[in-house]
Structure 1
């Protein structure tokens, strides 16, 4: 499962995601900030330092019998990581 991710960087010079395709476990260990796992006070505190947020989204729908339903979310997350 992929979570919407809040990626914060005051200078916008780097993204906290590897440019490789990540497994769910690698993503969760590699990400510094995961919006779905943060409390609102944590988000509020981080937004005092920066106003940059990247939230990759993709639809969750069927793509036939061979692909998982999170295929679009996976593509969005990896596109963000590659940028």
Structure 2
């Protein structure tokens, strides 16, 4: 791959530690990624990180808005 993606999406699994996920996000941001999404299927929610420690939390029946990329997605279309 020659281009850095604008967004990275991680789906949390029960075996992943928060520190492991945030370490990955830090590497992604250092590489130039603009946003990282943490998808939490059990909560029907997505946290959109714009930097480490800076995120917005979106729950079911709301519209996710990623200000870094302009992406907007109704979560009722994600968690069917």
- TM-score, normalised to structure 1, is 0.27
Larger Rg computed on CA atoms: 1
Per residue, is there more helix in 1 or in 2? 1
Per residue, is there more strand in 1 or in 2? 2
* Structure with higher RCO (Cα < 8 A, 6+ apart): 1
